[in-house]
Amino acid sequence: MILVTGASGQFGKNAIDHLLKKGNSPAEIAVLVRDKSKAKSFEHTGVDVRVGDYTDYDSLLRALKGISKLLLVSSNDRQAVENRTAQHINVIKAAKDAGVGHIFYTSFVRKPGFENSAIAAFQNSHVESEEFLKNSGVKYTILQNGIYLEMVPVFAGEKVVDSGVILFPASEGKASFVLREELAEVAAGIIASEGHENKTYNLTNTSSVSFAEVAEAISATIDKKVIFQSPEVTEFQSTLKQFGVPEMYIGMFTMWATAVAQNTMDVEDDTLKSFLGRNPTTLQQFINSVYAVK
């Protein structure tokens, strides 16, 4: 039996939908939520809804009973990145103790030099989780997912269509943004097939894009000129402050913009494309789906 965690989140939900779409029997699928009221969308599907929290070993041990394959969707804990590592370790320990045979873990795209990047702490959490998993003795598959295309509109700003300006200190850096649903589709395909024991996969788009290209793509879709401006970080931060953006978001935007500027997520790879059996969604296709007047 397969168990997918993070079922109340976007990735987990999509992975479960794809497992069902691929013809896996609902009787062979279990989903983990920490709040049962968030599992309503699964009621009609026939999958087994189990309750557990990454911070609560006993709940995980109960939830993982009878599971042979586990898709561990990484935590989104926003308090501290170290919390995520501890939570992943907790799940891996419980899975081992419950007799799970194979753990699939959603990690993040990484390239040499990541230790010096703006997202080093975040990356280190994945490195430590991966190391713990590899040393656990349980079969593993690591899915090093690229940065979601869905982050592009967040970084471009909600007023981009009206203002015609993207303000983001990403300079000329590029990243291989990839659609979350396609990552989830591939994860479902991998978990439901054989031959992935102790492998690590780079799952990114086949080409990387810059924010100048994001501006061009939005311009083409809305038929209005959008320009990209990459200010100094301090100027960017004081502009966001003037607009009343909370400190936490200012820090987050600065971190990701700097990471893009450092090209730390610029990893072009064909692995996702071959698992999908088609070309991954491009930036322009995604931008059309978000900004085209319906």
Ligand X SMILES: NC(=O)c1ccc[n+]([C@@H]2O[C@H](COP(=O)([O-])OP(=O)(O)OC[C@H]3O[C@@H](n4cnc5c(N)ncnc54)[C@H](OP(=O)(O)O)[C@@H]3O)[C@@H](O)[C@H]2O)c1
Give residues in contact with ligand X (CB under 6 A).
Answer: 6, 8-12, 34-35, 38, 53-55, 73-77, 87, 106, 108, 145, 147-148, 151, 180
Nearer to ligand X, 127 or 222 (CB): 127
β-strand partners of 199:
141
Compute the least distance from the CB of residue 185 to ligand X, in Å.
13
Compute the least distance from the CB of residue 13 to ligand X, in Å.
7
Compute the least distance from the CB of residue 194 to ligand X, in Å.
25
φ/ψ of residue 227, rounded to 5: -110, 155
Compute the least distance from the CB of residue 232 to ligand X, in Å.
25
Compute the least distance from the CB of residue 4 to ligand X, in Å.
10
Cα torsion through 266, 267, 269, 273, rounded to 10 = -60
Note whether 187 and 128 are within 8 A (CB): no
Nearer to ligand X, 102 or 126 (CB): 126
Compute the least distance from the CB of residue 203 to ligand X, in Å.
9
- E strands, 158-235, are 165-167, 174-175, 199-203, 209-210, 227-229
**Residues written for the chain:** 294
> What is residue 101's three-state secondary structure?
coil
With a CB cutoff of 8 Å and minimum separation 6, the contacts of 17 are: 184
CA angle 23, 27, 33 (to 5 degrees): 100
Nearer to ligand X, 151 or 220 (CB): 151
Nearer to ligand X, 92 or 222 (CB): 92
Nearer to ligand X, 145 or 262 (CB): 145
Compute the least distance from the CB of residue 235 to ligand X, in Å.
26
CA distance 210 to 175: 7
CA distance 166 to 55: 39
Nearer to ligand X, 16 or 147 (CB): 147
Sign of CA dihedral 54, 59, 63, 66: positive
Nearer to ligand X, 61 or 222 (CB): 61
Note whether 237 and 254 are within 8 A (CB): yes
Give the residue closest to ligand X by C-beta.
9
Strands 165-167 and 227-229: parallel
| Spatial CA neighbour of 104 closest among 49, 145, 52 | 145
